[in-house]
Amino acid sequence: MIGRVAALIALVVAVLAVVVLLGNGGDQYEVTAEFENAGQLVKGNEVVVGGTAAGTVKTIELGPQGQALVTFSVDDAYAPLQRGTVATIRSPSLSQIAGRQIQLTLPVDSQGGDPIDDGGQLSEAETVSAVDLDQLFNTLSPATIKDFKHVIQGFEISYDGVGPQANRGLKYLNPFLSTSRRVFAELNSDQAAFENLIVDTSQLSGALAERAPDVSALVGNLNRMMNAIGDRRERLAQAIAMLPDFLRNANTTFVNLRAALDDVDPLVTASKPAARELRPFLAQLRAAAADAVPTVRDLDAIVKRPGEANDLVELTRIQPQLADKAIGSGAPDCGRGPKNAADLQTAADGDFTQGAFGEAVCSLDNSELNLAFLRAYTPELVGWFDDFGHSGYIDAISGIGRISTSFNAFSLSAPGGLPNLLDPLTPAELEAALDTGNTRRCPGGNERPVTDIDPSDDSVPFTDGGALTDGVAGDCDPSQVLPGP
């Protein structure tokens, strides 16, 4: 009987305890937070404030826009939460792979907003979802992930067997980071200068990219220069060994140069006005120098290029031989005697020892008389060409040629009257009628003087004041003219 009463009393106490617990659970403060994703949260995960447990996750549901609706409780010590509270999903430690918790960052009392009612919500702007490392890797392409694996494997190979040395090197990491922090602090102290540095570096990189072939050639030339220096390292070592003595001897020169620089100061001061005037000229000279680059490049190819007998250097080498051929033994000796056509001798000296220039001088000198003679016949020559240029004309029908036979004003006639043209002339009559053998006519011998206007006109035939008849510049006969008055 006593045992039954004790059991009944225990049952009543248990029922009362359950009722009390259920009553207290129904009065617990709860808030629903909207997260971009649940970040592997599960029901029962902790809610912490400053590392102290402050509640648990009650439910996790899917929102209408695909967001995660996480309902969690908060102890009375922190309830009610204020606007400005930030809920962040974090991993409590590195040892937990799937364990998560909600960390509440409470606002300062003076900066907190309105209290959040029981059952209220934290918007997505007031929450921070966890970002797993897998999410970062998922943004990479398979090729990048493969290369990243090779990097990790490379670190393993590089540190294999050198762990103690690496640990000793890591001791210097802290000083390196601290000095780097000071470097970056100096860079951030002057943002404008740092931005100018970045812009100038970008422009420099662009300029180098535009001149990529020149940069490649520069690197190749530097490589050859370094190889050349390496091949002569013994001489370089000797030069370095001699450098201290050279510097000691140069010290005196530098000391004396200091006084010379003081003497140069007045010259520099006097040159300043001229330097200002030279500024526009130098600007134009810079542009001209830039435009002259292709010309200089072509000139370089002209001065020296691979091959034989194809550049200016090789042309210069053969200049002495060319000069010998052109100048010869000395002043030209044309060997011409008195200026008389009968006494004219050969121009050259026979073996061409006076050079090409001397032969040319003799040729021009000895042709003077011929040119003087032919000059007087210029009107006849021009008239001959002019006849060819006016041998016809063009009318409304077409172009025609004009050909005719001309006779003198005095036709053939025998002495004493006109003969019968049907009867042939006797040789005596032909000789009397024709004037033959006129092979030495002077210029203008076919023309007649204008005696009806000026009886003293003796302009034709032209004898150049007798020069064409004295045998020096010619040997014409002024008496050979057309028959008739």
Partner residues linked to 32 by β-bridges = 71, 121
Q: Tell me how far apart the alpha carbons of residues 9 and 392 are, in angstroms, rounded to a whole number.
A: 157
Contacts within 8 Å (CB) and 24+ apart, 448-457: 448/481, 448/482
Residue 61 has a pLDDT of: 92
Q: Tell me how far apart the alpha carbons of residues 348 and 360 are, in angstroms, rounded to a whole number.
A: 9
Contact assessment for residue 62 and residue 54, using Cβ atoms and an 8 Å cutoff: no
Residue 342 has a pLDDT of: 41
Q: What is the mean pLDDT of residues 239-259?
A: 85
Q: Strands 46-49 and 127-128, how do they pair? A: unpaired
User: 345 pLDDT band (50/70/90 cuts)?
Assistant: very low
Q: Is 110 helix (H, G, I), strand (E, B) or coil?
A: helix
pLDDT digits (tens, 9 = 90+) for 372-408: 777 777 877 777 777 666 556 666 666 666 555 555 4
Residue 48 has a pLDDT of: 92
Runs of H (alpha helix) within 390-433:
427-433
Mean pLDDT, the chain, as a whole number? 77
pLDDT digits (tens, 9 = 90+) for 111-170: 778 889 998 999 988 999 887 777 777 888 889 988 888 888 888 888 888 888 888 887
Residue 31 has a pLDDT of: 92
Between residues 83 and 473, the one the model is more confident about? 83
HEC profile for 247-281?
A: HHHHHHHHHHHHHHHHHHHHHHHHHHHHHHHHHHH
CA 202 to the chain's CA centroid: 17
Q: Which of 1-15, 179-193, 372-386, 468-482 has the lowest mean pLDDT?
A: 1-15
From residue 33, alpha-carbon distances to 76, 98, 393 in Å are: 18, 20, 112
Contact assessment for residue 437 and residue 477, using Cβ atoms and an 8 Å cutoff: no
pLDDT digits (tens, 9 = 90+) for 263-289: 888 888 888 888 888 888 888 888 888
Q: 65-69, 106-110, 159-163 — which one is most confidently predicted on average?
A: 65-69
Q: Tell me how far apart the alpha carbons of residues 132 and 440 are, in angstroms, rounded to a whole number.
A: 122
Count Cβ atoms below 10 Å from residue 74 Cβ, excluding itself: 23
Q: Which residue type does 192 have? A: A
Count Cβ atoms below 10 Å from residue 343 Cβ, excluding itself: 9
Count Cβ atoms below 10 Å from residue 132 Cβ, excluding itself: 14
Task: Please state, for a pLDDT cut of 70, what percent of the chain lies above it.
Answer: 75
Q: Tell me how far apart the alpha carbons of residues 463 and 443 are, in angstroms, rounded to a whole number.
A: 7
Contact assessment for residue 328 and residue 353, using Cβ atoms and an 8 Å cutoff: yes
DSSP state string for 116-179: PPTT-EE-GGGEE----HHHHHHTS-HHHHHHHHHHHHHHHHHHTT-HHHHHHHHTTHHHHHHH
Residue 72 has a pLDDT of: 93
Partner residues linked to 49 by β-bridges = 52
Count Cβ atoms below 10 Å from residue 101 Cβ, excluding itself: 20
Closest of 84, 74, 73 to residue 115, by C-alpha: 84
Q: What is the mean pLDDT of residues 404-419?
A: 51
DSSP state string for 183-244: HHHHHHH-HHHHHHHHHHHHHHHHHHHHTHHHHHHHHHHHHHHHHHHHHTHHHHHHHHHHHH
Q: Helices 212-231 & 191-210, crossing angle to 10 degrees?
A: 90
Residue 98 has a pLDDT of: 64
Between residues 340 and 186, the one the model is more confident about? 186
Contact assessment for residue 101 and residue 92, using Cβ atoms and an 8 Å cutoff: yes
DSSP H or E stretch at residue 60: strand 52-62
Closest of 102, 100, 84 to residue 30, by C-alpha: 102
What is the DSSP code (8-state) at residue 466? G
User: 74 pLDDT band (50/70/90 cuts)?
Assistant: very high
Q: Tell me how far apart the alpha carbons of residues 120 and 25 are, in angstroms, rounded to a whole number.
A: 17
Q: Which residue type does 353 have? A: T
Maximum pairwise Cα distance, the chain: 207
Q: Which of 89-103, 334-348, 381-395, 439-453 has the lowest mean pLDDT?
A: 334-348
Q: Tell me how far apart the alpha carbons of residues 440 and 442 are, in angstroms, rounded to a whole number.
A: 6
Between residues 38 and 341, the one the model is more confident about? 38
Per-residue pLDDT at 59 exceeds 90:
yes
Contact assessment for residue 121 and residue 81, using Cβ atoms and an 8 Å cutoff: no
Between residues 482 and 241, the one the model is more confident about? 241
Between residues 357 and 60, the one the model is more confident about? 60
**Angular region, 364: left φ>0, alpha ψ -120 to 50, beta rest:** alpha
User: 86 pLDDT band (50/70/90 cuts)?
Assistant: very high
